[in-house]
């Protein structure tokens, strides 16, 4: 089966008749920070000194074959230089965010080849958000599973509910909140809750490109 790609609202095959020969992903590099020890062996690794590993952008390299010059020109005109959501059909459960640039083209008879690169954010995002609903009647815990990308959830409360996470406690009344101190990390995140009411927690997971 030959897979294509969706760039924003445009599909490589359906809109341009293009065959995607490949989509090669280059993972993001770690933003390393080492300090040399003068007169000593090795160095001091400060890569995680400010709260965790951070990354440069990733890259996706594309090659397309098209069957008419007009389709080739239209594809370049529509997509070149645009920042957009990118979906690879072979991996439909995720999408990438980045800017697409065409880097080269060739013609062989009636066939046209386009090469492109997308500079993308270091995390690919799940197509569906994760939603957790819970009725709070007594003290307890809410366990939220997250992927590699740290994410700040949207918390909607009906009633009066106290939530504690990673040493921070807040009393929330009816409303919608985004609290930086409640940024979820990779793995299982435990929130302690008490009070009475309903809480809805929404977040989107992301994995490294």
Q: Which residues pair with 85 in a beta bridge?
A: 97
Structure tokens belonging to residue 77: 């005109």
* Cβ atoms of 119 and 57 closer than 8 Å: yes
Gap between the Cα atoms of 4 and 90, Å rounded: 8
Q: What is the pLDDT of residues 63-89, one digit of tens each?
A: 999 999 999 999 999 999 999 999 999
Gap between the Cα atoms of 181 and 190, Å rounded: 13
Phi and psi at residue 148, in whole multiples of 5°? -65, -35
Gap between the Cα atoms of 119 and 56, Å rounded: 10
Q: What is the pLDDT of residues 25-43, one digit of tens each?
A: 999 999 988 888 887 778 8
Residue-level pLDDT at 33: 87
Structure tokens belonging to residue 108: 């062989």
Tokens 């690919």 map to which residue? 124
Q: What is the mean pLDDT of residues 129-153?
A: 97
Gap between the Cα atoms of 204 and 81, Å rounded: 26
Residue-level pLDDT at 47: 83
pLDDT value at 51 more than 80: no
Q: Which residue ranges form the domains of the chain, and what is each CATH number? A: 5-121 (2.40.30.200), 130-208 (2.60.120.10)
β strands within the chain, DSSP E:
5-7, 10-11, 19-26, 34-36, 43-45, 58-66, 83-88, 94-108, 111-120, 123-126, 130-136, 140-146, 154-165, 168-177, 187-203, 206-208
Q: What is the mean pLDDT of residues 97-124?
A: 98
Tokens 């062996």 map to which residue? 41
Q: What is the pLDDT of residues 146-202, one digit of tens each?
A: 999 999 999 999 999 999 999 999 999 999 999 999 999 999 999 999 999 999 999
If pLDDT is split at 50, 70 and 90, which confidence band does 112 have?
very high
Gap between the Cα atoms of 54 and 107, Å rounded: 41
Structure tokens belonging to residue 155: 């918390």
Q: What is the mean pLDDT of the chain?
A: 96
Phi-psi region at 36: left, alpha or beta (left = phi > 0; alpha = psi -120 to 50): beta
- Pick the closest to residue 74 from 123, 5, 10, 152 (CA basis): 10
Gap between the Cα atoms of 54 and 17, Å rounded: 38
């Amino acid at each position: 089966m030959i897979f294509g790609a969706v760039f924003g609202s445009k599909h490589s095959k359906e809109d341009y008749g293009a065959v995607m020969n490949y989509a090669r992903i280059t993972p993001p590099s770690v933003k390393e920070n080492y300090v040399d020890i003068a007169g000593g062996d090795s160095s001091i690794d400060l890569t995680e000194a400010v709260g965790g590993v951070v990354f440069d952008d990733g890259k996706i390299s594309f090659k397309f074959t098209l069957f008419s010059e007009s389709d080739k020109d239209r594809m370049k005109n529509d997509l070149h230089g645009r920042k957009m959501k990118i979906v690879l059909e072979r991996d439909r459960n995720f999408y990438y965010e980045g800017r697409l640039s065409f880097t080269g083209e060739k013609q062989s008879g009636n066939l046209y080849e386009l090469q492109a690169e997308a500079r993308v954010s270091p995390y690919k995002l799940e197509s569906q958000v994760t939603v957790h609903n819970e009725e709070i009647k007594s003290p307890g815990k809410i366990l939220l599973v997250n992927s590699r990308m740290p994410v700040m959830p949207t918390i909607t409360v009906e009633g009066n509910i106290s939530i504690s996470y990673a040493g921070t406690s807040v009393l929330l009344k009816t409303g919608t909140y985004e609290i930086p101190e409640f940024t979820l990390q990779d793995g299982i995140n435990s929130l302690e809750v008490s009070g009475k009411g309903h809480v809805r927690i929404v977040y989107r997971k992301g994995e490294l490109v």
